[in-house]
Amino acid sequence: MEPVAPTRRTARFSSGFDSRVNELAFGNDVILDGSTIVSGLVDAIPAVGADLLEIATVAYAVDRILPRPTEREAEKSGGWGREIWVEVPVREPVLWHSHAGSLSALLHWLTDDQWKFDFVQLDVGHGPLDVKQGVLFDTLPSGIPPVLFSGGLDSACGLYLDLLRHDAIAVSVHTNTWMHHVQRQVSHGLSSRTSHSVVPLRYRVCLPRASSESSQRTRGFLFLSAGVSAALALRCNKVSVSENGIGSINLPYLRSQEGAQATRSMHPRTLGLMESLATKVIGHTFQISAPYRTITKAELLAQIPREADSILARTVSCDTAFAARVKDHSPCGRCTSCLLRRQAIYGAGRNSLDDHVSYRYPAADTVALSAMLWQVLRLRECLSASLPWLGLVEDFPEIEFARHYMTAEEIIRLYKCYVDEWDLFMEAVPIDEAWRLGRMVG
């Protein structure tokens, strides 16, 4: 008689593969609430989909709990990466063990950390996505792949373009009540501007206790896992991501930035690695579509009819506006995310969108703006060279990662358009005479 394999309900983790082991319990240390998904579908989420999202939630929680090295420690160790061991109870441990290498490679690309995964059998019925409730929706749009919806400008534009053609299924992850409010308000508002309906499928993920690390480089993995999980529950083998090419590639602003210090949440390579992982664990082809990866944020916004402007103005792209301690949840106006959004608004000729937002700070000289302008000047010089692709690769080696998913011509066109759009923004929001001098040098 074969011995019965042990089962567990609690994940475990450690910082460094040989250090003290900590436990991570769903409902206590991290919350994954998928009740609106589980109750909204006729069929339960397939085991592999539930496993994927629970693994992503554990990785997200561990990423937030374990602090990265301090600047001084990073100098001694040669980087900000960590060694992380995680053991996750799953429904199909043998399957996940066979693909642990692909999972670790994806997370290393996203976080610069070295991840080691072990998997044990989950106690039957004790996963946070196992609870089955009554059906919430009588019908769901058939044959339509879900679209990821964050509540930011890009995802709102993508959702609206879908709604102009057909009903839509919007998959969201929110980590606090204000984020949930924005997502619900924007998706409902966009739907009210068209003759089609949106079905929201929302996951809530949060850490009840204060976290030690704010970089959150696993956030993209969590978001994509939610989309894959929802798609599988809908018996669909595709999910759509609405992200512009500039934000997707996200080149470092400064030469001192290395690896994942420039976030890679929706990078073309991230989508490719996630698509490959999903295909392997599912056993058949899964596709992650990114229809706007070859255009700028301004070009995406320009495709949206102006009657949606009052709704788009409610989207949030700020790095800190969802923080609980920010008064009135106002966007800061000066982080790189805010500045990229404002640059796109002016680049698209939709200046009135900016008038509807109360920023906490003016778009004055800041470290973030200076870094972005320095990057634009470098891009301008590369693009004006006789061989622009070689110039881009020499000054921005990271751009080679995108070359496997986009042509050199597409990337060159993308950044030429982006540089030109900055001219429109700087003329509308004059900031520093150094910019004028820099343009002459470029």
Q: Is 299 helix (H, G, I), strand (E, B) or coil?
A: helix
**Partners of 314 in beta bridges:** none
In the numeric block, the tokens 């079905």 are attached to 199
Answer whether residue 343 is part of any domain: yes
What do you get for the CA distance between the two ends of the chain, in Å?
75
Half-sphere exposure of 6 (CA within 13 A, CB side): 6
The answer to whether residues 425 and 419 touch, using CB atoms and an 8 Å cutoff, is no
pTM: 0.92
- Please give the structure tokens belonging to residue 282: 């599912």
Answer whether residue 290 is part of any domain: no
Cα separation, 274 vs 224, in Å, equals 8
Number of domains in the chain: 2
**pLDDT truncated to tens, each residue of the chain (442 aa)?**
444 456 778 999 999 766 789 999 998 999 998 876 655 554 568 899 999 999 999 999 999 999 998 877 877 777 899 999 999 999 999 999 999 999 999 999 999 999 999 999 999 877 888 765 444 444 566 678 999 999 999 999 999 999 999 999 999 999 988 899 999 999 999 999 999 999 999 999 999 888 888 889 999 999 999 999 999 988 899 999 999 999 999 999 987 787 788 899 999 999 999 999 999 999 999 999 999 999 999 999 999 999 999 999 999 988 887 765 555 678 888 899 999 999 999 999 998 888 888 888 876 667 888 899 999 999 999 999 999 999 999 999 999 999 999 999 999 999 999 999 998 888 877 665 444 434 433 3
The answer to whether residues 24 and 9 touch, using CB atoms and an 8 Å cutoff, is no
Give the burial class of 133: count Cβ atoms within 10 A of its Cβ; 0-12 exposed, 13-18 middle, 19 or more buried: exposed
Answer whether residue 386 is part of any domain: yes
Answer whether residue 135 is part of any domain: no
Q: What is the largest CA-CA distance in the chain?
A: 80
Contacts of 329 (CB under 8 A, 6+ apart): 178, 316, 321, 322
- Structural domain that includes position 408: 321-441
Answer whether residue 128 is part of any domain: no
Half-sphere exposure of 47 (CA within 13 A, CB side): 16
Query: Pick from 100, 122, 144: which residue ends a domain?
Result: 122
User: What is 345-382 written as a DSSP string?
Assistant: HHHTT-THHHHT---SS-S-S-HHHHHHHHHHHHHHHH
Answer whether residue 59 is part of any domain: yes
Answer whether residue 200 is part of any domain: no
Query: Pick from 72, 95, 122: which residue ends a domain?
Result: 122
Contacts of 300 (CB under 8 A, 6+ apart): 154, 157, 158, 242, 244, 292, 344
Cα separation, 23 vs 13, in Å, equals 6
Cα separation, 50 vs 175, in Å, equals 19
Report the amino acid identity of residue 436: R
Query: Pick from 99, 122, 145: which residue ends a domain?
Result: 122
Answer whether residue 106 is part of any domain: yes
